[in-house]
């Protein structure tokens, strides 16, 4: 890199190529040229002892206590219940132990001194609201300029969008942002979007990786402050063995009750969870796909991802590529770290329960894919733990559901069968049925305590810190925590059934596909929520009627689950309401510090978004090019250079030929657009010559 580009360079869509080799890895063999790594410090090992040793101890206690509940000779169904209870008990125990391990989280500092590392900020996008995403980058460019990074930083918008109208909105937004940005903003749209996001980033590294030392990866709804990026760059520059630093993003912008619920939980509970993960991960941390800084050469050497053999959902492109890239860096001897102390990292959150379910479908498939990668040669033990946690995070839903069903079957067996006291005609004393209800109750109480204690501890911690004052005071933060626990209890059973269905679909071979993420949802109608949740209601009502008839006492501990199922249509619909979100905020519920003191960079991003061309309906965006010569010129300036057009496949060339023929036979622009199919319209907005021919027609 030779400093900031000249005006001639900046007018181009992309900078000159600076190729960097990124070989595809073979995870069946150890990495080539593995680096030596220093042993972890005592803090990390103590945190691991607390986390994993504590989890193992709790699992052992749960096993022995449950076994004693069933007596000396458990029945097959009791053994089944035991086999399901132990991993469930261990799972909630792991969360608690990880929280305690956070006491030994590393003390992080940002080194001072010169830093000339060249930084690329990249934002992969796919069918996003262009103005909002580019507005975030415009604000970031100004913030990085204020931090003195303008001479060594550049910004890339890496588009994978396929819809021609979306692409036009992107180019017009980027063109306007380039005029307002003190940093170069480059725009590249791939001709094909193979391998999805991981392929998008890999294409950037292979074309321009030699131009930069570090890259900051953002999501389409995420941003970091210039000060945070400067700190990350300095920390990485000071440690030549450090390949990736993941930040803990703060969720912002939630308007619905569901989004605000997620936002509040992440803000209050998230920092303690992050400290725990950072403590036991040490230098073998994980990567969440965005809001992280990466050493470009380390990434290129280690993270060229192969396609898995077989068909989706378990074969093909690696979906949750971020976990795999972190594991690949660690197995090559690089450090991967979670820096929990940086707060200038933000992202949006799903607006509704149904939108979250759509995202989790892809995450579930990606995490289950990791079952084929957990045994990669040379991977460190903690990387395998990250894989296992991701897999179990989704498998716990069917395990939990099966646990409940087995418990109900056991109860029904006791209620509907007559015990056989003398199974042997020659025995002197009867076999009394053994079931220690008191011990079972205490195990249930212990499980609930392990589940809720992390939230209560985090709430108390927030109560004693400035976080409480910034969130409306100690009383409101406690009330918000109780409100969050109540709503989460109603939502959890529905999520359990949704995730169980997702796992079932994946296991029977259904691929999730690749759809654009919903960033700003709308309140679903009654028809939508009833169609999605009628099965949940039926299951809840049916279980309620059966238990009320045969075993009323079980309704006490099953009531939260049954209430969540029966009320699921109302919960799904009203938690998606911005009106109820505003109602909660007006009463000081689920308020975060970022709402009371809005981060400057987010305010500037909102202003920058308003200054950019407003995203148009897709067809209108294309028509706009035909009537606005300035917009047409801006769009053409950001198309792939002519050298890229020479690389088109035969089918792409044929598509352009047919598009040209249809345009030649049209009498107006509108008629030409009616003639063109989706691929031909894409060819039109990608070819300057076709655009000029089309725009010369009468509107």
**Model pTM?**
0.92
Distance of CA 285 to the CA centre of its chain: 16
As for how many domains the chain has, the answer is: 1
- 475 pLDDT band, cuts 50/70/90, is confident
Residue 313 and residue 509 in contact, taking contact as beta carbons nearer than 8 Å:
yes
Of 57-66, 387-396, 448-457, 519-528, the poorest mean pLDDT is in: 519-528
Predicted confidence at residue 430, as pLDDT, reads 47
Predicted confidence at residue 424, as pLDDT, reads 59
The yes-or-no verdict on residue 383 having pLDDT over 80 is yes
Q: Is residue 36 part of a domain?
A: no
Residue 660 lies in domain: 618-695
Q: Is residue 680 part of a domain?
A: yes
Residues β-bridged to residue 247: 339
Give the DSSP letter string of 327-363: HHHHHTT-EEEEETT---EEE---SSHHHHHHHHHHH
Sheet holding 214-217, edge to edge: 185-189, 153-159, 119-125, 214-217, 292-295, 242-247, 335-339
Q: Is residue 627 part of a domain?
A: yes
Distance of CA 486 to the CA centre of its chain: 24
The yes-or-no verdict on residue 1 having pLDDT over 50 is no
The yes-or-no verdict on residue 431 having pLDDT over 80 is no
Tokens standing for residue 443: 């195990």
Q: How far apart are CA 570 and CA 564, in angstroms?
A: 10
Q: What is the pLDDT of residues 146-174, one digit of tens each?
A: 999 999 999 999 999 999 999 999 999 99
Q: Is residue 601 part of a domain?
A: no
Q: What is the pLDDT of residues 522-545, one digit of tens each?
A: 678 888 889 989 999 999 998 888
Q: Is residue 386 part of a domain?
A: no
Question: Mean pLDDT, to the nearest integer, of 94-101?
Answer: 96
Predicted confidence at residue 461, as pLDDT, reads 86
Buried b (16+ CB within 10 A) or exposed e, 403-439: bbebbbebbeeeeeeeeeeeeeeeeeeeeeeeeeeee
Q: How far is CA 685 from CA 561, 652, 689, in A?
A: 52, 13, 10
Residue 267 and residue 250 in contact, taking contact as beta carbons nearer than 8 Å:
yes
Reduced to 3 states (helix: H, G, I; strand: E, B; else coil), residue 432 is: coil
Q: Is residue 659 part of a domain?
A: yes
Q: What is the pLDDT of residues 684-696, one digit of tens each?
A: 999 999 999 999 9
Q: How far apart are CA 379 and CA 464, in angstroms?
A: 41
Predicted confidence at residue 13, as pLDDT, reads 93
User: In 145-224, at which residue ranges do the beta strands (DSSP E only) sit?
Assistant: 153-159, 185-189, 214-217, 222-224
Q: Is residue 293 part of a domain?
A: no
Cβ atoms within 10 Å, residue 29: 10
Those residues whose C-beta lies under 8 Å from the C-beta of residue 384, and which sit 6 or more positions away, are 327, 374
CA dihedral 564, 566, 570, 575 (to 10 degrees): 10
Q: Is residue 645 part of a domain?
A: yes
């Amino acid at each position: 890199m030779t400093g900031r580009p000249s005006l001639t360079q900046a007018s181009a869509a992309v900078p000159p190529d600076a190729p960097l080799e990124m070989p595809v890895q073979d995870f069946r063999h150890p990495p080539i040229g593995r680096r030596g790594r220093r042993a972890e410090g005592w803090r990390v090992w103590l945190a691991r002892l607390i986390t994993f040793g504590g989890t193992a101890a709790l699992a052992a206690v749960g096993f022995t206590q449950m076994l004693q509940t069933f007596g000396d000779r458990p029945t097959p169904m009791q053994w089944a219940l035991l086999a399901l209870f132990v991993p469930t008990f261990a799972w909630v125990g792991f969360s608690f132990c990880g929280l305690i391990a956070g006491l030994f989280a590393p003390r992080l500092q940002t080194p001072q001194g010169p830093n000339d590392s060249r930084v690329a900020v990249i934002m992969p996008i796919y069918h996003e609201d262009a103005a909002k995403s580019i507005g975030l980058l415009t604000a970031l460019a100004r913030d990085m300029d204020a931090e003195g990074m303008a001479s060594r930083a550049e910004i890339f918008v890496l588009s994978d969008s396929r819809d021609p109208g979306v692409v036009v909105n992107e180019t017009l937004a980027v063109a306007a942002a380039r005029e307002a940005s003190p940093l170069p903003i480059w725009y590249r749209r791939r001709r094909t979007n193979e391998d999805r996001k991981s392929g998008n980033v890999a294409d950037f590294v292979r074309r321009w990786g030699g131009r930069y030392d570090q890259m900051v990866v953002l999501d389409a709804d995420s941003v970091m402050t210039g000060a945070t990026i400067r700190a990350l760059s300095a920390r990485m520059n000071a440690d030549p063995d450090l390949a990736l630093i993941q930040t803990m993003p703060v969720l912002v912008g939630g308007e619905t009750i569901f989004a605000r619920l997620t936002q509040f939980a992440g803000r209050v509970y998230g920092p303690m969870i992050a400290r725990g993960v950072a403590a036991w991960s040490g230098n073998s941390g994980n990567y969440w796909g965005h809001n992280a800084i990466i050493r470009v050469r380390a990434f290129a050497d280690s993270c060229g991802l192969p396609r898995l053999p077989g068909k989706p959902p378990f074969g093909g492109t690696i979906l949750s590529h971020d976990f795999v890239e972190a594991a690949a860096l660690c197995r090559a001897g690089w450090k991967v770290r979670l820096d929990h102390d940086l707060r200038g990292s933000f992202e949006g959150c799903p607006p509704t329960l149904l939108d979250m379910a759509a995202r989790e479908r892809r995450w579930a498939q990606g995490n289950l894919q990791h079952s084929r990668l957990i045994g990669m040669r040379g991977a460190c033990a903690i990387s395998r733990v990250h894989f296992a946690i991701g897999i179990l995070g989704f498998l716990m839903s069917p395990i939990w559901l099966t646990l409940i069903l087995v418990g109900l079957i056991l109860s029904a067996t006791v209620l509907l069968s007559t015990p056989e006291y003398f199974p042997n005609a020659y025995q002197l004393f009867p076999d009394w049925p053994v079931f220690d209800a008191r011990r079972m109750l205490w195990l249930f109480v212990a499980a609930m305590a392990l589940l809720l204690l992390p939230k209560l501890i985090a709430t108390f911690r927030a109560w004693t810190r400035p976080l409480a004052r910034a969130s409306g005071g100690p009383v409101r933060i406690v009330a918000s925590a109780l409100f969050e626990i109540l709503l989460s209890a109603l939502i959890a059973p529905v999520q359990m059934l949704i995730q169980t269905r997702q796992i079932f679909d994946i296991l029977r071979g259904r691929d999730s596909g690749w759809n654009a993420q919903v960033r700003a949802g709308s309140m679903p109608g009654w028809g939508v929520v009833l169609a999605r949740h009628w099965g949940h209601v039926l299951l809840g009502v049916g279980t309620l009627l059966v238990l009320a008839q045969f075993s009323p006492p079980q309704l006490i501990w099953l009531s939260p689950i049954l209430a969540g199922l029966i009320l699921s249509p109302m919960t799904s619909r009203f938690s998606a309401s911005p009106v109820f979100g505003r109602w909660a905020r007006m009463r000081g519920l689920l308020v975060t510090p970022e709402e009371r003191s809005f981060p400057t960079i987010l305010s500037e991003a909102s202003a920058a978004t308003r200054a950019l061309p407003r995203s148009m309906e897709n067809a209108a965006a294309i028509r706009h090019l035909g009537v606005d010569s300035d917009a047409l010129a801006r769009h053409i300036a950001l198309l792939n250079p002519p050298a890229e057009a020479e690389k088109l496949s035969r089918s792409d060339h044929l598509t352009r030929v047919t598009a040209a023929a249809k345009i030649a036979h049209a009498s107006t622009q509108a008629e030409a657009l009616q003639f063109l199919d989706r691929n031909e319209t894409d060819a039109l907005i990608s070819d300057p010559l076709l655009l000029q021919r089309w725009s010369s027609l009468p509107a």
